[in-house]
C-alpha cells in the first residue's frame, strides 16, 4: 500500500494560506515556506492557496485588506506553488477584478451568505466561462440552513456547476459556552450534507477554532466526520498578522498537522464511526449549552439572594421552591423523564445555589 493511500480513498481539498494578503513579500514568504509542506501531502490533499484581498471586518478601524493591488501577489504565490489561487468576493467589482486577473476559485464569506441581495448580485455577475469557476459557499453567521442553501441555489440557478460549501461555525453570542470562536454546531454540517450529498463540504478549522492551539482538534474532528476538506489559515509570522493573528498557524504547525492527518486512517475510521462521532459531538455541544445555562441560573440565584438579604427576606422560601419543584416534575413526566430524577436534579441545582 502506498503511503498516500492510507488516508483517503478520494483526495481531500485543502484551502490554506494567510487570512489576508498583506504585502508582496508576505505572499512570497508564505509560498516558499509552504512549498515542501504541500508537496509532502499532495497524495492526500489537492491544495489551493487562499488570501483575502477584501476583508469583511466588523469594525471600520480594522485592516480592510489591500484590495485589487494584492491580486498579482496572490497569483504569483499560487503559480510558484503550482496550485490554484482562491480569494473572497463580496461585491460584483471584487468578482470581476479577480476573474479578470485569472482567479477561478472564489469563496463567499459568512457575512455575505447572510445577505441574499449580495449573493444574488454575485450570482448575476456576467462571467464569460462559468464552467471554469469553483464557488465555495461559507455557512451564514447564524444557523439558518435556508440562507446557506439559498446561496447555493442562487449560484446553481445562475448556471454554475462547480460548487463546494464551507462549514465555518456560528456566532451564538452568550448562548454558547464553546471554547471556540465560533460554535461548530456539527449538526448543521450534517444537515447540509444530507441536503446536498453531491456538494463537497469543507470545514474552516481556523475560523471555528479562533486560536491556533485549537485548530488541530477541529481539523481532526472534521476528518473523522467525513468532511471533504479543510480551510486553514497559515501566516509566515502569525504574531504580526494584520488580521486573525491568534488563529493563524505557522507553516511548521501546518506541516505537523497535515502529517498527523495524513497518518490517520480516516477512510476506515470514517466508515465506522462518522455517525457515532457526530452524535458524540452533539452531546458535547448540548453539554456546553447546558452548563452555560446552569451558570446563568446560578448567577441569577445569587442576585436573588442578595436582594433578599438587603430587604430582610428569608433566603429559603419553601413554598416558592415547592411550586418550582412541582411544576418541573409535571413537565418532566410529560416529556418522558422520570419525575423523581427531575426532583433530584432540581435539589442539586437548588443546593448548589444556596
Ligand atoms: C475568511 O475566510 O477570511 C473570513 C472572513 O471568514 P468568515 O467569512 O468565515 O468569517
Ligand atoms: Mn480570517
Could you report the per-residue pLDDT of 250-299, keeping only the tens digit for each? 999 999 999 999 988 655 556 556 777 778 888 888 888 888 888 888 88
Residue 264: name the closest of 217, 320, 297 by CA: 217
3-class secondary-structure state, position 52: strand
* Confidence at residue 349, expressed as pLDDT on a 0 to 100 scale: 85
In order of start, what are the domains of the chain with their CATH numbers? 12-270 (3.20.20.70), 272-353 (1.20.59.10)
Which residues on adjacent β-strands are paired with residue 15?
48, 231
* Beta-sheet strands, E only, within the chain: 12-17, 45-50, 85-88, 105-108, 134-138, 163-167, 201-204, 229-233
Q: Name 135's bridge partners.
A: 106, 163
The residue behind cell 452548563 is 291
List, in sequence order, every residue forming a beta bridge with 16; answer none if it has no partner. Answer: 49, 232
8 Å CB contact between 106 and 88: yes
- In this structure, the residue with its CA closest to atom 4 of ligand 1 is 109
Task: Give the pLDDT confidence score for residue 268 in this predicted structure.
Answer: 58
Query: Ligand 1, closest atom to CA 243?
Result: 3
* Residue 334, C-beta contacts closer than 8 angstroms, at least 6 positions apart: none
CA 184 to centroid of ligand 1, rounded, Å:
14
The alpha carbon of 206 and the centre of ligand 2 are apart by a number of angstroms equal to: 8
How far CA 53 is from CA of 111, 175, 217, in Å, comes to 15, 32, 28
Residue 94 and residue 87: Cα distance in Å, rounded? 9
Nearest atom (ligand 1) to Cα of 169: 9
Give 201-231 pLDDT, tens digit per residue.
Answer: 999 999 999 999 999 999 999 998 999 999 9
Tell me the DSSP string of 72-103. HHHHHHHHHHTS-EEEE--SHHHHHHHHHHT-
Ligand 1 pocket residue status of 169, Cβ below 6 Å? no
- E strand or H helix at 313: none
Rg (CA), the chain: 24
- Residue 234 in 3-state DSSP? strand
Q: Give the separation between CA 325 and CA 319, rounded to whole angstroms.
A: 10
| CB 18 within 8 Å of CB 248 | yes
Per-residue pLDDT averaged across 179-194, rounded?
93
pLDDT at residue 276 in the model? 78
Whole-angstrom Cα distance, residue 145 to residue 149?
A: 6
Locate cell 486577473: which residue? 101
Task: Pick the ligand that lies closest to the CA of residue 181.
Answer: 1
Q: Kindly give the distance from the C-alpha atom of residue 343 to the centroid of ligand 2, in angstroms, as a whole number.
A: 47
- Asked if pLDDT for residue 249 goes beyond 90, the answer is yes
- Give the pLDDT confidence score for residue 7 in this predicted structure: 42
User: Using a 6 Å cutoff on CB, does residue 168 contact ligand 1?
Assistant: yes
Specify the pLDDT at position 341.
84
Ligand 1 pocket test: which of 18, 50, 52, 245 has the largest number of ligand atoms within 8 Å of its C-beta?
Answer: 52
For residue 280, the model assigns a pLDDT of 82
The CA 87 to ligand 2 mean position distance, Å, reads: 11
What's the rounded mean pLDDT across residues 136-143? 97
Tell me the sheet residues that pair with 230. Answer: 14, 203
Distances in Å between the alpha carbon of 96 and those of 122, 140, 171, 286? 10, 23, 30, 43
Amino acid at each position: 500500500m502506498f503511503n498516500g493511500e492510507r488516508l483517503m480513498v478520494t483526495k481531500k481539498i485543502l484551502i490554506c494560506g494567510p487570512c489576508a494578503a498583506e504585502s508582496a513579500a508576505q505572499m512570497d514568504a508564505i509560498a516558499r515556506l509552504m512549498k515542501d509542506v504541500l508537496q509532502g501531502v499532495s497524495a492526500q490533499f489537492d491544495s489551493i492557496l487562499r488570501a483575502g484581498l477584501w476583508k469583511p471586518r466588523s469594525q471600520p478601524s480594522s485592516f480592510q485588506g489591500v484590495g485589487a493591488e494584492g491580486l498579482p501577489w496572490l497569483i504569483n504565490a499560487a503559480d510558484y506553488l503550482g496550485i490554484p489561487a482562491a480569494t473572497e468576493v463580496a461585491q460584483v467589482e471584487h468578482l470581476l477584478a479577480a476573474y479578470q486577473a485569472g482567479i477561478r476559485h472564489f469563496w463567499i464569506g459568512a457575512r455575505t451568505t447572510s445577505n441574499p441581495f449580495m449573493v444574488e448580485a454575485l450570482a448575476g455577475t456576467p462571467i464569460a466561462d462559468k464552467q471554469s469557476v469553483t464557488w465555495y459557499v461559507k455557512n451564514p453567521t447564524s444557523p439558518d440552513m435556508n440562507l446557506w442553501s439559498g446561496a447555493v441555489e442562487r449560484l446553481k440557478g445562475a448556471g454554475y456547476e462547480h460548487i463546494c460549501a464551507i462549514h465555518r461555525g456560528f456566532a451564538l453570542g452568550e448562548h454558547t459556552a464553546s471554547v471556540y470562536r465560533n460554535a461548530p454546531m456539527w449538526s448543521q454540517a450534517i444537515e447540509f450534507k444530507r441536503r446536498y450529498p453531491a456538494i463537497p463540504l469543507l470545514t474552516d478549522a481556523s475560523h471555528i477554532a479562533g486560536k491556533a492551539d485549537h485548530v488541530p482538534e477541529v481539523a481532526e474532528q472534521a476528518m473523522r466526520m467525513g468532511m471533504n476538506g479543510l480551510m486553514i489559515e497559515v501566516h509566515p509570522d502569525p504574531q504580526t498578522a494584520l488580521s486573525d493573528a491568534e488563529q493563524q498557524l505557522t507553516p511548521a504547525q501546518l506541516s505537523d498537522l497535515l502529517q498527523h492527518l495524513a497518518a490517520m486512517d480516516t477512510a476506515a475510521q470514517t466508515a465506522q464511526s462518522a455517525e457515532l462521532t457526530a452524535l458524540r459531538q452533539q452531546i458535547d455541544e448540548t453539554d456546553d449549552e447546558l452548563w452555560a445555562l446552569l451558570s446563568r441560573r446560578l448567577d441569577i440565584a445569587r442576585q436573588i439572594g442578595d436582594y433578599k438579604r438587603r430587604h430582610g427576606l428569608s433566603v429559603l422560601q419553601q413554598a416558592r421552591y415547592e411550586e418550582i419543584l412541582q411544576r418541573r416534575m409535571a413537565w418532566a413526566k410529560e416529556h418522558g423523564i422520570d419525575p423523581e430524577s427531575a426532583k433530584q436534579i432540581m435539589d442539586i441545582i437548588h443546593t448548589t445555589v444556596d
